[in-house]
Amino acid sequence: DAGITQSPRYKITETGRQVTLMCHQTWSHSYMFWYRQDLGHGLRLIYYSAAADITDKGEVPDGYVVSRSKTENFPLTLESATRSQTSVYFCASSEGGGIYNEQFFGPGTRLTVL
């Protein structure tokens, strides 16, 4: 399917477990982003990537790890999940950086950490 997909869509895990959220896009967009969305905080950037093998921290990177070995994939790993990481996670991609480049968002992953 064309577009940007995320998996799983829903995930329940326990404190201390490692969790990986997957993101895949079919447009060959250079830029990919991970956001978390919590009530009262809007969308906060966790990590982003300008190209394969290039990643950079966003506003709230602590507790998260990313990699980008292929242009189309940008997985997000919670190395040791905590309850504060319960959130909705959105992956996004754009053709380039900058205000002119529309970001396309995936459907989101709702993560609950017990």
Q: Which residues bind other proteins (CB under 8 A)?
A: 33, 35, 40-45, 48, 50, 58-59, 90, 92, 96-100, 102-108
Provide the token pair at 48.
Answer: 């982003």
How many CB atoms within 10 Å of residue 42? 9
14 vs 102, which CB is nearer to other proteins? 102
Q: Which 8-state DSSP code applies to residue 85?
A: G
To the nearest whole angstrom, how small is the minimum distance from the Cβ of residue 81 to other proteins? 23
56 vs 79, which CB is nearer to other proteins? 56
CA distances (Å), origin 102, targets 15, 29, 95, 99: 35, 11, 8, 7
To the nearest whole angstrom, how small is the minimum distance from the Cβ of residue 80 to other proteins? 26
6 vs 85, which CB is nearer to other proteins? 6
What is the amino acid identity at position 46? I
To the nearest whole angstrom, how small is the minimum distance from the Cβ of residue 17 to other proteins? 26
Provide the token pair at 71.
Answer: 């242009």
To the nearest whole angstrom, how small is the minimum distance from the Cβ of residue 52 to other proteins? 16
Under 8 Å between Cβ of 23 and 29: no
